[in-house]
Structure 1
Amino acid sequence: MDRITTDQLTRMLVGTGTPTGPLYRRLSEGLAELIDRGELPPGAVLPPERALAVALTMSRTTVVAAYQELQAGGLVERRRGSGTRVRTHARHTVSSRELAGDHAASQFLDGPPATIDFMTAALPSLGIVADVAASLTRDDYLQLTTTHHGYHLKGLPSLRERIASWYGGSDDILITAGAQQALELVGRGCLQPGDRVIVEDPTYRGALDAFARTGSRLCTVALDSAGLDVDALEKLLVTEAPRLVYVQASGHNPTGVVMTADRRRRLTRLLDRYDFILVDDTSLAGTAFAPTPSTLGTHERLLTIGSLSKVFWGGLRLGWIRGAPQTVARLAQVRGISDLGSSLVAQEVARRLFDHYEDAVAERRTTLPVQLRTLTGLLQQHLPDCTWQEPAAGASLWVRLPHGTATQWSQLAQRYGVALLPGAVFGSSDDHTRIPFTLPVETLRAGIERLSRVATEVVGYPTDAARVNP
């Protein structure tokens, strides 16, 4: 029997339901959505009404009304002394063991049910993407279709050569459908159930998803303004003997920290002293506000993950894994089980975009700090009790909230039309949230103004009637 904890359910509910209407109905529709997806499986026991009401900052009568509506719809059954559980014949499609209610892809299923999306830290596309894509001629397509049979597990040879030369090293390249697929391949190819994996605290939520699917046991190491605490990591290498260590040295999601040169050197030296695989996710490297190395170097147990999603456009779905040839060959075999390769057309566009990579980085380096200052100015004006550490990369700000939990903030924010991620989904304590700063200024301002109203509610907890149609 699956017993869903209050913390689990409150995180799963982020981004579900509808943004308007009576509060009990918003909650019931969110729960019904989770049941439909199979994320709340048949037989799962839901939290008690009172506990869920406290976590969601609503009255117990609201939760009771939501549960009753689900019962009337045949989705749950309620018995005195046994609580509320999902009915065994409730509609579902996929085993909940294959899903996590707060996984990184949740907000992309149907989009956040809010007018302002603070959940997604995606950057707008650069104009060069459309220019390059439109430049392909019929002859270019003929060259692709007549030269290649269309199946390249490792990727388009000319693109792999272009990326390898860009790094200036001899390591091999495996092209992937974005950095998320790269992480999944690393997890499937390098880990077995029970293996210990060390990640930063906090860390990229997509990495947590990928490693969790392998049955690995996660251990965290602290992160500060200089990056990963290498001394703390070495102690864990001795006591935990991990199979894999995952870092983001060139730009950290969600904090925006860039690891210092000294810590980079000390980190890579550990590879010669301890037996573990080091995975460096450089997806944010192209968004660094100052020049930063794109890799930690080369080593037979170092894998570098790269991506064009942040620099150019997320819709390219173009990433890669750089590593020793034998390791890349193994990961390509793993990839072949479910995917025979990415689109050659998209890879040809990506190959040509590499000719504009430095210009794209320069453009991001010019615009991102300006957009950051806009957000911090709005926070200082409307949420002066919030605190943060200035990021050195990325498109979002890691904000410490002054009162309550980020899960409470996210639930209340949704009632004001703002979709917000709680810090707990990044494996961190639930007192932070991530706010993107690349949205249009007016959208950003409206979102922060609405969050200032949330701050009042977190402190004051007014009645549900005041929250129905804020």
Structure 2
Amino acid sequence: MDFRSVYSADHLARMLVATGAKSGPLHHRLSTGIAELIDRGELPPLAVLPAERALADALLVSRTTVVTAYHALRESGRLQRRRGSGTWVSAATPGSKRETVSGSELAGDHLASSFLNGPLATVDFANAALPSLDLVADVSAGLTGADYRALAMDHHGYHPRGLPTLRERIAAWYSAAGTPTAPDEVLVTSGAQQALELIARGCLHPGDGVVVEEPTYRGALEAFSRQGSRISSVPVDRDGLDTDELDRVLAGGRSTRLVYVQAAANNPTGAVCSENRRRRLVAAVKRSEAVLIDDTSLMGTTFRGDPPPPLLTGAGDRVITVGSMSKLFWGGLRLGWLRAPSRVISRLAQVKGGTDLGTSLVSQEIARRLFDHIDDAAAERRKGLDAGFATLTDLLADHLPDWTWAEPRAGASLWVRLPQGDATHLAQVALRFGLALLPGAVFSAEGRTDDHTRLPYALPPHVLQEGVLRLARAWRAYTDGGLREMSLTTAVT
């Protein structure tokens, strides 16, 4: 039989987190979750599922629970089983060998999972998106009919490089910050994620080496992985990327095409790269043939100390900077950009033009006006993030005193180390308490950070309180045992 995908127990466990909390007996919860993954196409036809015992261990349930769930899925026609060959997802139709939509990147857990399918649980700690600032609505409401007519005067409305007036504004912002920039060195994108996808598609061939931070932004890992890259990791501490280790990796004899960093603020740790590390990072890249990708998406979220410079400079034409409006203003704008030498921008604009012919002009006009409010937005974010951080850490100190973390300087999340166990298993327990939790393994190219989890603090205080209370109950259940047949209803009550 031609199986396309084989899923480990931990991989399937992470995917099941994205199906959200379910009620009822565990076997029903499990079969319903797997059925959703199959029906949505996230578990494709002929995909091999883990053995019953392995999945039971990953989900902290009894083997009988998995056997019962698999049996129900076979009865519904979603699974097939053959002694000695394991269990796999049924073909879409008898004799079918391929779905209509069946790209390899569709399989598995991914960045968009927590947004595609609605709230995952009563309390959602699985994403760290920031709420919109009021000034976004105020500025948007300021657009008049004359403003829309002015945009429409361009008869076709297609600008793959971006609205010229916005590119001029972004260039002026960088220039005012001390790095002269021309509009033709700016490419507007539909968010930072699209910017990373364009870089991956435009710069990488299968087998190319990419160095990333560990932990790092999972969307970058997904973009590079889809191009068949060979990904290596370098640890991050409170001062940013470990540049000594980066030197060793770059000198290791295997060529590196890209070095991806988040010098302004690391997602998920909130670490800000120190000035010394910034200099050493640039020097290390200059000695190699790599291209440096500086993702500044969290720029403007610094709430401890002075904000860092907006750019890594000194590496000549081998630096591509990613920027975004999502964290500072609002993700719903779907507005990001790339800053790079004009020739690089021209090549990446060709890639973007073949994808969407340009980002929404209305969002771009709103973004252009929001650039006049960057300082006010950063001050408001600083106040809100500082308060949220204090609330979350006070709650953790009261209810989970053995959990530890390095204090972030920026960002919207706390990177927490578990005293024992792993976050993939804990996330399954948390769902039984109505709490969606993201395993730390998704922030590592090799899944090596599952002794951590990311906790968001840009949430209302009452949500943080309820979430930590549920997390503490889940942690006690996880560490005390006795979970194997606990239903969601029993756990929450």
TM-score (norm 2): 0.93
Please tell me the residue identity of whatever aligns with 1:375. Answer: L
Residue 413 (structure 1) aligns with: 430
Residue 464 (structure 2) aligns with: 444
- Is the aligned partner of 1:254 residue 2:265? no
Q: 1:46 aligns with which of 45, 49, 66?
A: 49
Tell me, in whole angstroms, the C-alpha distance in 2 between the residues paired with 1:118 and 1:211: 26
Q: Deviations over 1:114-163 (max 9, x none)?
A: 01110110111111000100001111111111146301111000000100
Tell me, in whole angstroms, the C-alpha distance in 2 between the residues paired with 1:403 and 1:229: 25
Residue 402 (structure 1) aligns with: 419
Residue 310 (structure 1) aligns with: 327
Q: CA deviation at 1:95?
A: 1.6
Residue 366 (structure 1) aligns with: 383
- Is the aligned partner of 1:213 residue 2:230? no
Residue 297 (structure 1) aligns with: 313
Please tell me the residue identity of whatever aligns with 1:346. Answer: S
**More displaced, 185-194 or 21-30?**
21-30
The number of aligned residues is: 470
Please tell me the residue identity of whatever aligns with 1:217. Answer: R
Tell me, in whole angstroms, the C-alpha distance in 1 between the residues paired with 2:486 and 2:48: 30
Please tell me the residue identity of whatever aligns with 1:252. Answer: N
- Is the aligned partner of 1:274 residue 2:294? no
Tell me, in whole angstroms, the C-alpha distance in 1 between the residues paired with 2:430 and 2:236: 28
SS at match of 2:80: strand
Q: 2:212 aligns with which of 199, 208, 223?
A: 199
Q: Deviations over 1:424-466 (max 9, x none)?
A: 0111421111010011111111111011111112112214443
Q: 2:64 aligns with which of 47, 61, 64?
A: 61
Residue 201 (structure 2) aligns with: 188
Q: 1:423 aligns with which of 436, 440, 450?
A: 440
Residue 145 (structure 1) aligns with: 152
Using a 3 Å threshold, how does the CA distance of structure 1 residues 65 and 273 change in structure 2: closer, same or farther? same
Q: CA deviation at 1:222?
A: 1.2
Tell me, in whole angstroms, the C-alpha distance in 2 between the residues paired with 1:185 and 1:395: 25
Q: 2:202·2:348 contact (CA, 8 Å) conserved in 1?
A: yes
Residue 337 (structure 2) aligns with: 320
Q: Deviations over 1:221-252 (max 9, x none)?
A: 11111100111111111212200000000010
Gaps of 5+ in 2: none
Q: 2:73·2:79 contact (CA, 8 Å) conserved in 1?
A: yes
Q: Deviations over 1:350-386 (max 9, x none)?
A: 0000000111001111221111010000001111111
SS at match of 2:323: strand
Residue 348 (structure 1) aligns with: 365
SS at match of 2:7: coil
Tell me, in whole angstroms, the C-alpha distance in 2 between the residues paired with 1:189 and 1:341: 17
Identity level (%): 58
SS at match of 1:285: coil
Residue 86 (structure 2) aligns with: 83
Q: 1:8 aligns with which of 8, 11, 36?
A: 11
Tell me, in whole angstroms, the C-alpha distance in 1 between the residues paired with 2:251 and 2:155: 48
Using a 3 Å threshold, how does the CA distance of structure 1 residues 63 and 268 change in structure 2: closer, same or farther? same
Alpha-carbon RMSD: 1.5
Please tell me the residue identity of whatever aligns with 2:207. Answer: G
SS at match of 2:357: coil
Residue pairs, 1:448-459, within 5 angstroms: 448-459=468-479
Q: 2:122 aligns with which of 112, 115, 121?
A: 115
Please tell me the residue identity of whatever aligns with 2:437. Answer: L
Q: 2:128·2:413 contact (CA, 8 Å) conserved in 1?
A: yes
- Is the aligned partner of 1:331 residue 2:334? no
Using a 3 Å threshold, how does the CA distance of structure 1 residues 468 and 418 change in structure 2: closer, same or farther? closer
Residue pairs, 1:95-114, within 5 angstroms: 95=102, 97-114=104-121
Tell me, in whole angstroms, the C-alpha distance in 1 between the residues paired with 2:189 and 2:337: 5
**More displaced, 155-164 or 86-95?**
86-95
Q: 1:40·1:96 contact (CA, 8 Å) conserved in 2?
A: no
SS at match of 1:13: helix
SS at match of 1:154: coil
Tell me, in whole angstroms, the C-alpha distance in 2 between the residues paired with 1:445 and 1:17: 20
Residue 133 (structure 1) aligns with: 140
Q: 1:17·1:26 contact (CA, 8 Å) conserved in 2?
A: no
Q: Deviations over 1:81-106 (max 9, x none)?
A: 22211112369663261224211011
Tell me, in whole angstroms, the C-alpha distance in 2 between the residues paired with 1:107 and 1:407: 15
Tell me, in whole angstroms, the C-alpha distance in 2 between the residues paired with 1:103 and 1:422: 12
Using a 3 Å threshold, how does the CA distance of structure 1 residues 146 and 468 change in structure 2: closer, same or farther? closer
Q: 2:43·2:107 contact (CA, 8 Å) conserved in 1?
A: no
Q: 1:38·1:93 contact (CA, 8 Å) conserved in 2?
A: no
Tell me, in whole angstroms, the C-alpha distance in 1 between the residues paired with 2:348 and 2:266: 24
- Is the aligned partner of 1:32 residue 2:32? no
Tell me, in whole angstroms, the C-alpha distance in 1 between the residues paired with 2:285 and 2:80: 54
- Is the aligned partner of 1:466 residue 2:486? yes
Q: Deviations over 1:249-293 (max 9, x none)?
A: 001000000000011111112333211100000000110113221
Gaps of 5+ in 1: none
Residue 24 (structure 2) aligns with: 21
SS at match of 2:364: helix
- Is the aligned partner of 1:283 residue 2:263? no
Q: CA deviation at 1:194?
A: 0.6
Q: CA deviation at 1:111?
A: 1.9
- Is the aligned partner of 1:434 residue 2:454? yes
SS at match of 1:198: strand
TM-score (norm 1): 0.97
Tell me, in whole angstroms, the C-alpha distance in 1 between the residues paired with 2:307 and 2:260: 22
Q: 1:197·1:217 contact (CA, 8 Å) conserved in 2?
A: yes
Q: CA deviation at 1:107?
A: 0.7
